[in-house]
Amino acid sequence: MFLYGKNSVFERLKVNPQSIKKIFLEENFSAPHIEELIKSAKIIAKRVSRKELLRIKHADSLQGIVASVERFKYADLEDLLNRPKDEQLSLIFLDRVFDPQNLGAIIRTTACFGKFAVVIPGHKACEVTEAVLHVASGGENYTPVAMVSNLTNALLAAKKSRWWIVGTVTKGGEDISSVSLPFPLCFVLGSEGKGIRYGIEKHLDIKAQIPMRGAPLSFNVATSCAIFCHQISSSRWKSNISNGTRNSFNRV
């Protein structure tokens, strides 16, 4: 795989330099903070022309740097579910998200908020590609991403492990700004056009929605994720999840 763009390569150099095989720099590339990390990590770097760099990776916004890296390593869902309580993450399940721009933005958003992981299905959805990593701008180094064969079965496994399942709906849901979210939490986001599939929606413990009083439009899934992550983060810090107690909610 190839990483490209200053932010993507810089974050990988900081967090996981051992995954980088080689770096290609455009002849006039100058970024001392990146070049110093390349040198300290003893990574092979080669200066090439703009034409050669585009031959290595044809994409917009190369910003003069391309890194050859190991293939993306997905996290294991079972490991995420069984983390110690003080290391638990909130899991964002994505149902039928096909756009790499959206997936990349979601990974970046969850990395910024912290204490999140993303779960995607292995079929009929976007996987982690080079384009996704570029949009994530290094977020993949901070947000684990798990891939599962069946999203419904994965949610049921989480539920069996006493995780709460909350999902987004466009109508009939509780206002996300006022609902008291329970933890540990799996949060499900559906595709923009069709939302969460019925086979998943019927397993939700809580249905939530974003109050919208403006134009009769809709947020795209990446924007919705940012709004919900903010609310989840706020609720998480208010919840006392370190004393072994769980909120008293009735499952639907």
**What distance in Å separates the CA atoms of residue 220 and residue 222, rounded to the nearest whole number?**
6
8 Å CB contact between 65 and 24: yes
Compute, in degrees rounded to 10, the torsion defined by CA atoms 226, 231, 232, 238.
150
Question: pLDDT tens across 24-69, in order?
Answer: 999 999 999 999 999 999 999 999 999 999 999 999 999 999 999 9
- pTM beyond cutoff 0.85: yes
Query: Any idea what DSSP says for residue 153?
Result: H
Backbone CA torsion sign across 77, 83, 87, 89: positive
Question: pLDDT tens across 130-158, in order?
Answer: 999 999 999 999 999 999 999 999 999 99
8 Å CB contact between 140 and 110: no
If you average pLDDT over residues 204-208, what whole number do you get?
A: 96
Quick check: 197 pLDDT over 60? yes
Q: In degrees, to the nearest 5, what angle opens at C-alpha 198 toward C-alphas 194 and 203?
A: 130
**What distance in Å separates the CA atoms of residue 146 and residue 196, rounded to the nearest whole number?**
19
Q: What is the pLDDT of residue 43?
A: 98
**What distance in Å separates the CA atoms of residue 130 and residue 1, rounded to the nearest whole number?**
7
Give the strand pairing for 185-189 and 90-94: parallel
Sequence length of the chain is 252
**What distance in Å separates the CA atoms of residue 140 and residue 118, rounded to the nearest whole number?**
10
Which stretches of 114-150 are DSSP H helices? 130-136
Question: pLDDT tens across 220-229, in order?
Answer: 999 999 999 9
Q: Which residues on neighbouring strands pair with residue 116, listed in sequence order?
A: 90
3-state secondary structure of 75: strand
